[in-house]
Amino acid sequence: MRKNKVKVLFVTTGDGDGIGLEVFSKSIIKTLIPKHYRLIFFTSSKTPPLEYRRCLKRILRNFKVVTCHHLYDALDVSLIGGKTLIEVHSLQSPARWVESVAKICHQFPDQFGLVTAPLSKPEIKAAGMKEIGHTEILKKVSGAKSALMGFYGAHFNLVLATGHIPLSQVPQNVSAQCLQGAVHAALELRKSLAPAERRKPIGILGLNPHSGDKGLIGLEEMSWMSRWIQKRGRGIRGPLVPDSAFTPSHLRKYSVFVALYHDQGLIPFKTLHGHGSGVHRTLGIPFIRTSVDHGTAKDIFGKNIADASSMREAIALAIKLLNSRG
């Protein structure tokens, strides 16, 4: 496919029995799709017919929908912009959708972008894949040395230095090289923030309670982290005490927080943002991928009560980032 001015945004709606299709259908009717964009969304043949029809009916209030059954048929549809969406109603596992479209986005990173709804780890496993999540799939497809999870939020922005690894493996994975990669990712995220936010420093959390308390509760901060951070200059601060870094008086001091492990950052992020705001972005890969910041929420599947705010923000951010690539 030749590169041209048309931008293509893929949206994968995740597990057929999750809230992905619901939040997409609710978000898209309140989203302005630029005229030079083609939006291709995936739906699962495993979604119960009643829920599928309800979501599609909602979309059809504002858009015409051209339905295909294979990705490359959808790419051949010439309609773009405004009031027409292209659906891929697929027999494939949602995990394979992500893999397939990521390959296209990797080949044409200035033209194609990806927005994902929640995808469960059992669904990935059932597809015969070894990866544990979206991030790992995208890293494999792109061949990137590092793919890190970043989060934009109304209260604060976040990068995770490590991802889906057991807590017991965190200390051995947090190294100077790990922090360097996380800071690089934080700088990438910071570029898309408002000018006032870009001027604030990046804050790196300590690993241990009280950031080690001068070596009384762990030695990592004293033995190397403090010196490493100090050498980076005033634009990088830390190690911050983890249990007070996210209090109201500290939140607005930093452009981006770097958490050293998954729950250290995501517990406060999801507590403050819930499902009402917050967008996930994969950093370190050459193409644009954004996502909701919540899970499949299968306990409320089909109840029509899911909050679509995060999906709406994820689509808007993907368009903004893709537009910035010219």
The 3-state secondary structure of 215-246, one letter per residue: CECECHHHHHHHHHHHHCCCCEEEEECCCCCC
Q: What is the pLDDT of residue 4?
A: 52
Domain annotation covers residue 276: no
CA distance 107 to 78: 20
Residue 256 lies in a domain: yes
At 261 the pLDDT is 97
- Look at residue 82 and tell me if it is in a domain: yes
**265 and 293 together in one domain:** no
Q: Domain span at residue 175?
A: 148-270
196 and 176 in a common domain: yes
Q: Look up residue 227 and give its two tokens.
A: 């010196």
Residue-level pLDDT at 3: 45
State the Cα–Cα distance between residues 299 and 19, nearest whole angstrom. Answer: 9
**How would you class 199 by CB atoms within 10 Å of its CB: exposed for 0-12, middle for 13-18, buried for 19 or more?**
exposed
Give how many domains the chain has, as a whole number: 2
Residue 277 lies in a domain: no
Residue 2 has what pLDDT?
Answer: 42
Q: What is the pLDDT of residues 39-95, one digit of tens each?
A: 999 999 999 999 999 999 999 999 999 999 999 999 998 766 668 999 999 999 999
89 and 162, same domain (yes or no): no
- 262 and 168, same structural domain? yes
Please tell me the predicted confidence (pLDDT) of residue 207: 97
List C-alpha distances in Å: 150 to 1, 99, 196, 319.
Answer: 30, 20, 19, 17
Q: Residue 233's pLDDT band (boundaries 50, 70, 90)? A: confident
Examine residue 278 and state whether it is found in any structural domain, yes or no: no
pLDDT-wise least confident of 12-16, 258-262, 293-297: 293-297
pLDDT score of 307 more than 50? yes
What digits encode the pLDDT tens for the residues 185-197? 999 999 999 999 9
Ramachandran area for residue 47 (φ above 0: left; ψ -120 to 50: alpha; else beta): beta
- Do 106 and 213 lie in one domain? The reply is no
Question: Does residue 30 have a pLDDT over 50?
Answer: yes
pTM: 0.92
The verdict on 59 and 140 lying in the same domain is: yes
Please indicate, yes or no, if residue 68 is contained in any of the structural domains. yes
User: Which CATH number does the domain housing residue 98 bear?
Assistant: 3.40.718.10
pLDDT in tens, 153-193: 999 999 999 998 999 999 999 999 999 999 999 999 999 99
Q: Domain boundary residue among 241, 270, 299?
A: 270
Do 140 and 154 share a domain, yes or no? no
pLDDT band at 275 (very low <50, low <70, confident <90, very high): low
Average pLDDT over residues 272-288: 90
Average pLDDT over residues 3-12: 84
Residues 130 and 182 in one domain: no
Are 298 and 261 in the same domain? no
Domain identity same for 48 and 80? yes
Q: Flag whether 313 is in a domain.
A: yes
205 and 259 in a single domain? The answer is: yes
Mean pLDDT, all residues of the chain: 93
In this structure, are 35 and 125 located in the same domain?
A: yes
- Does 279 reside within a domain? no
Contact 173, 207 (CB under 8 A): no
